[in-house]
Chains A and B, each alone.
Chain A
């Protein structure tokens, strides 16, 4: 046992004594989390919104006031005509525009239906959709204001469970935690192997009485420990700086992090056993990390992916990490809810670990 502990201690010393590896183990995740916590937002604000008011009436102004009162839009009144509006949209001087027809005040006065146009820039469909929703809501409230008696009283109120303010950060930050720790831990683990190979220490290590399993287990465990330190640091940031609420039992979170790191480390080991140079290891880790991150449900929902991709992505630990972190943080999930994730992550870890172990034994004996 103490032999194994010595090996583990060596692995940790190797990572933490070298300023370079210490740097990538701890700094980028925190910096990235900090930056992304602020940047990765889908909430709109300061949207430049053009107004083409052809009616110039009391009524049109009161509609415009409604838009002005919205915190999302910054109104631009200097639109001359439709051509000008088109140009301004193309040049991104405005992102959307409201066109009020000449007949607006007359139609309102006559209690006739009246059409206004809202034109949005479709270059970014996500924000375009959001702008349309917000504008529609403003116009609805205008309608109920001017026709309180005639309007239908059918109302649909809505409530967002677990995240009433629809705060994107609450979702994004725990998800980023999974993505970043996978990237860094996988990279670190795969690099320690390449490093031992290039530094000649690999031979020296192979000649000690350690078995292949022990060597891999120590590397894996050290990767998990580094991961835990890094994740804890990021967690503090998420909980105390960004103040994302945590609703479940902390033991479940710790267990999840452990299994998640186990899977990440397993993937790293598998890559590193098969790569003889640093460059190869880095490129493969990178390729996997990018694919896993993109298809993790962080940017677009997993459920919207084609079925075949959903099936393949069962092996994607980030996907399970993102989904379960969200349930633990926001939904107050119980052990039973997370159990399938634990099992899958443990399966990914055990699978990659044993294939890696088998490959290394094979390499040593052939």
Chain B
């Protein structure tokens, strides 16, 4: 093996209370110079642990690793002075400006003073951040922070870049931009990029992929290595399907609504002229929505488009500056308690009580929504069955694997049989199998008449929506069914774009117009 990143039989365990978690279980790989290598895998697969070992931040229990010929244990300091590294919680100092953050890393890497200015300008230009060098990092949007963190990691012009989930929670456009930047660097400098992600479709941007699942490599090599096996079952499989094939040995049937949305279904969420201002900045500018019973309603948009704010106003987490939200005819302001009784909410980040057990969490949320003792018992019984939580009832939720946590979050949100379900990037970081499972349940609920409002960064999930709204700069820029959106997002005369391209087209068209 002659790769510049080498791993041999790496094992790493973590002790979690009484249990031992095998974060990495015998990882061997070799990465060659001048390539973008994607480290794919769902949350909890061991991606961060592997990258930290390569960066010399963790010591493997067994096996050895080397970067550029330096051993990751013995020569950690040598590695750390030549690589660029971007951790998942990017190490930006929020109360320093863009320029000050970059300056700090430039000094740490001892970039000669006379070269610094041109380097900063070049990087800011590349990241499209030149407009505000003196803004504090804390005031940047998520996508901009990611780019700034990348700029800091690139300051020393390293031969190797280790990036830990740089695209998590970032919209498709910023993701493309980011990979575009990486590609430019690799082409120009012959550097090597090892980047982790939980979005399978990002394999498209990589030269090679390493797919990690439960601490083991399940596929390694060219991008096609993931879908090879799936090709035996289906022509032109997606990367998700390739993953499903490798793990489950089968590709599940595409999901379909059993009961299509009836056009005269009653409106249960009605947002009229929603406006949200933060000081002089208008985050949401006169938006209107209607969501019907049994409808799956998708709220999409680039980072900072006002979609999160809209979502939070619709479920009553943020107050509206003007306009109104009605939930089943109840004003969210004047009858907030009653209105909240009708909604269920699953947050992007796991947000149940980590110190309490699964059962205790269910008990609490059941009682919080005022279910009587008998009803509570019945619904908890239902939830434990429906979400296959039998084996976890008495485990503290904080220690559960991500998939189980997501199931529990759903269970808690559904205990009181809400009429409206709000899902805020609820599938973020989940593997394709889990997402499939998740959507099967969502569509089921919609069939039963529950209105579902979701935000997501997985464009393929848009296909499940009955109605979509795309937001930009606080305004609705496109709305309609998936087909309608695709039509709106296709230039005149061209063949119909898929939903991802349509989304990008709509956003970029508006951007150039303004």
Footprint of B on A, CB under 8 Å? 2-3, 5-7, 9-10, 13-14, 17-18, 199-201, 203-204, 206-211, 364-366
Q: Mark B288-310, 1 if CB is under 8 A from A, else 0.
A: 00000000000000000000000
B351 within 8 A of A: yes
Q: Separation in Å of the B205 CB from the closest CB of chain A?
A: 30
Tell me the nearest residue of chain A to B340, going by C-beta: A209
Query: Would you call B341 and A209 a contact (CB within 8 A)?
Result: yes
CB contact under 8 A between A6 and B363, given known A14-B353, A204-B352, A209-B338? yes
A207 near B315 (CB under 8 angstroms)?
yes
Q: Is the CB–CB distance between B316 and A14 below 8 Å?
A: no
Residue of B nearest to A210 (CB): B368
B residues within 8 A CB of A201?
Answer: 351-353
Q: Which residues of B contact A6 (CB under 8 A)?
A: 363-364, 366-368
Number of A-B contacts (CB under 8 A): 75
A199 and B351 within 8 A (CB): yes
Report yes or no: A13 in contact with B353, Cβ–Cβ below 8 A.
yes
Q: Determine which of A14, A204, A210, A366 lies in contact with B351 in the assembled complex, contact meaning CB atoms within 8 Å.
A: A204
Given the contacts A13-B360, A17-B356, A365-B333, A207 and B316 also touching, CB distance less than 8 Å:
yes
The reply to whether B370 and A3 form a contact with Cβ atoms under 8 Å apart is: yes
**Which A residues touch B337, using CB under 8 A?**
209-211
Q: Which of A13, A203, A210, A365 contacts B347 (CB 8 A)?
A: A203
The distance in angstroms between the C-alpha atoms of A278 and B337, with both chains bound, is 29
Does residue B438 face the partner (Cβ distance < 8 Å to A)? no
Once A200-B347, A207-B315 are accepted as A-B contacts, the answer to whether A9 and B355 lie under 8 Å apart by CB is no
Q: Within 8 Å CB of B367, what residues of A?
A: 2-3, 5-7
- For chain B residues 341-377, which have a beta carbon within 8 Å of chain A? 341, 343, 345, 347, 349-356, 360, 363-370, 373
Cβ-based interface call for B319 (8 A): yes
Residue B317, interface by CB 8 Å: yes
Contact between chains at B340 and A203 (CB < 8 Å): no
CA distance A199 to B315 in the complex (A): 19
- Interface size on B (CB < 8 Å)? 31
Q: Are A207 and B319 in contact (CB under 8 A)?
A: no
B396 within 8 A of A: yes
When distances are taken between beta carbons in the complex, the residues of chain A under 8 Å from B351 are 199-201, 203-204
**Across the two chains, which residue of chain B brings its CB closest to A20?**
B355
Residue contacts A-B, CB under 8 angstroms, 13 given = A3-B369, A6-B366, A14-B353, A14-B355, A199-B351, A201-B351, A204-B347, A207-B315, A207-B340, A208-B340, A209-B337, A210-B368, A211-B337
Q: Which residue of A lies closest to B422 (CB)?
A: A207
Residues of B within 8 A of A208 (CB): 340, 365, 368-369
Task: Kindly state the separation between the CA atoms of A17 and B368 in the bound complex, as whole angstroms.
Answer: 20
Please indicate the chain A residues that have their CB under 8 angstroms from the CB of B366 in the complex.
6
Q: Are A10's CB and B315's CB within 8 A?
A: no
State which of B352, B355, B368 has its C-beta within 8 Å of the C-beta of A7: B368
C-alpha gap A14/B365 in the complex (Å):
14
CB distance from B414 to the nearest CB of A (A): 13
- Chain B nearest CB from A278 CB (Å) reads 15
A364 closest partner in B (C-beta)? B319
In the bound complex, residues from chain A placing their C-beta under 8 Å from that of B355 are: 13-14, 17-18
B339 to chain A, nearest CB (A): 9
User: What would 12 more interface pairs be, CB under 8 Å, given A5-B367, A10-B364, A201-B352?
Assistant: A6-B367, A9-B364, A10-B356, A13-B353, A13-B355, A14-B355, A17-B396, A204-B345, A207-B343, A208-B340, A209-B341, A210-B337
Question: Interface readout for B413-429 with A: 1 if CB under 8 Å, 0 if not?
Answer: 00000000000000000
Q: In the assembly, what is the distance between CA of A13 and CA of B357, in Å?
A: 10
Smallest distance from the beta carbon of A59 to chain B beta carbons, Å? 75
Contacts A203-B317, A207-B315, A209-B340: A3 and B364 contacting too (C-beta < 8 A)? Answer: no
- Residues in A with CB closer than 8 Å to B349 are 200
Given A207-B340, A364-B319, does the pair A199, B354 have CB atoms closer than 8 Å? Answer: yes
Interface centre among A14, A18, A201, A204 (most CB of B within 10 A): A204
CA distance A210 to B370 in the complex (A): 10
- Cβ contacts under 8 Å, A203 to chain B: 317, 345, 347, 351
